[in-house]
Amino acid sequence: MPRQSALITVMMNAARKASIRLKRDYGEVDQLQVSKKGPADFVTAADIRTEKLLREELSRARPSFGFLMEEAGEQLGADTHRRWIIDPIDGTTNFVHGIAQFAISIAAEENGEITAGLIFDPISEELFWAEKGRGAYLNDRRIRVSSRAKISQSLFATGIPFMGRGTEEDHDKFLSEMKAVMSVSAGLRRFGSAALDLAYVAAGRFDGFWESGLQPWDVAAGILIVREAGGLVSDLSGRDRMFESGSIVAANPHLQQDLRTLITGARTSD
């Protein structure tokens, strides 16, 4: 069993506790009370309840930390240098439709830097986690990004824009990106959870992942997990400004630059 800090233990305990009710809700998905937060952007009673439980559990262990959360937004803590970044259900649309591809995502940020991250798939009970400088793990097994060096042999994941997310021009640019990657790779996948896509890159299941229009809670934990697994992560311009730009390109060190070049080239070729 890898050594883990008290901080990551707190995160694991909170995620596992929150998942108990979440799995029960998923089993009763037809009876969920669902309201619309925006076009094709669902918020469920389970989303709000899970976030509340995570906030309570994490606050109990670290009462001075602030929060940045998908549903409740930003809440400043007594310690203005540390906060939790939480997505209670990354892949809510999958959850609402009874598709078992969603996860709890928790990251600890200190002085603007992610120092610990956790992505928990409550259905498969796969728990991806990392601490800065200590490597990345799937449950108690060390994980690393893939070693494939040729795009033609590589499998990539992405997120597809939908109604209410992005303009018609954004959708057209994405189609160009997808066509560019499809034409030279072994395939594309769209599973509907950016957090799990990043976790799968860290575990070597995907060779790379890209998406635009994301929020910090979608990617905070995944960024650290990929990097601690030996991968490279940047925004589309190659900078470490994923939170500000909302774009991300993550891949193993052999492919990240080539993937980013493909995508940016496709976006500017129209």
Contact 270, 172 (CB under 8 A): yes
Q: Which of 8, 85, 86, 89 is catalytic?
A: 89
AA identity, residue 58: L
Block residue for tokens 């990392």? 130
**Is 70 known to be catalytic?**
yes
Q: Which residue among 25, 85, 86, 92 is the active-site one? A: 92
Cβ neighbourhood burial of 212 (10 Å; 0-12, 13-18, 19+) = buried
Find the catalytic residue in 25, 47, 57, 87. 87
The answer to whether residues 255 and 185 touch, using CB atoms and an 8 Å cutoff, is: no
Q: Parallel, antiparallel, or unpaired: how do β-strands 41-44 and 73-75 relate?
A: unpaired
DSSP state of 229: T
Instruction: Answer yes or no: are the C-beta atoms of 270 and 264 closer than 8 Å.
Output: no
What size, in residues, is the chain? Answer: 270
- Does the annotation mark 90 as catalytic? yes
218 is catalytic: yes
Q: How far apart are CA 107 and CA 8, in angstroms?
A: 9
Of 90, 109, 121, 197, the active-site residue reads 90
Residue of 51, 57, 70, 211 marked active site: 70
Torsion sign across C-alpha atoms 18, 21, 27, 31: negative
89 catalytic per annotation: yes
Residue from 218, 223, 228, 235 carrying the catalytic annotation = 218
Q: Does the annotation mark 44 as catalytic? A: no
> Is residue 104 a contact partner of residue 22, using CB atoms and an 8 Å limit?
yes
Beta pairing class for 41-44 and 34-38? antiparallel
Tell which residue, 243, 249, 247, has the closest CA to residue 227: 249
Would you state the torsion angle of the CA atoms of residues 227, 7, 214, 18, taken in this order, to the nearest 10 degrees? 130
Q: Which residues are catalytic?
A: 70, 87, 89-90, 92, 218
